[in-house]
Amino acid sequence: MISAIRNFDLRMISIYLIAVFLSLTLHELAHGLVSYWMGDPTAKMSGRLSLNPFQHIDWVGTLCLLLFGFGWAKPVPVDPRYYKDPKFGMVWTAFAGPVMNFILAFVCILLFYLLVAFGGGFLATSVGSYLISLLSATASMSIGFGVFNLIPIPPLDGSRIFWAFLPDRDYFRVNNPPAWISFVFLIVIFSGLLDQPLNMMISTMFNWMESGALWLLTPLL
């Protein structure tokens, strides 16, 4: 992405922007929908049950996602007091975002291989080439966003998922940390310390999805 910006490659910039907007929007929408299904109207009242990406994006997090492959969106507001079980309501709400990212990625990979198999001359056109690149970029970006959000450090979704074994009071205290925790986490991200393990997990997840997609499409290929 950095090289695309330096060379002002409008085609690649547009592909990455669409991939980011899709990944962020569906991730946050999933949080809001699951919370709403469990009785919490907060996201709906805040206008966050929307496919409009501008309702969800955090510009700093979006820039990081474009440049480094890891970023964040504006958190969907939820109120766990509406849930029958506040702690596990938060767990399921948090889990919904990464799951949606992995679903989006898998669908993109399936469509990618369907186009490769049956696209024929269409793939040689500018539209076909653009669509193939968009599907590939969206799959990679969405997996990256989902994996990144599973890191068990607040305020990421993984913190709400992986600390569920704690007593309720400790669980909510861990997930409402002082501001300096987020600041330190940002420093760690930009230091590059997490790059290798995250890239390894993203690559592994992509390979699993690719194998699954090819297995499903075997009768058609």
Number of other residues whose CB lies within 10 A of the CB of residue 173: 12
- Cis geometry, peptide bond prior to residue 154 (ω within 30 degrees of 0): no
Measured between alpha carbons, how far apart are the two ends of the chain, in Å?
Answer: 33
76-94 in b/e form (b: 16+ CB < 10 A) is: bebebeebeeebebbbbbb
CA-CA distance, 25 to 18, in Å (whole number)? 10
210 given a catalytic annotation: no
Query: Catalytic pick from 15, 16, 21, 28?
Result: 28
Query: What is the rounded distance in angstroms from the CA atom of residue 79 to the CA atom of residue 32?
Result: 11
- Residues forming the active site: 28
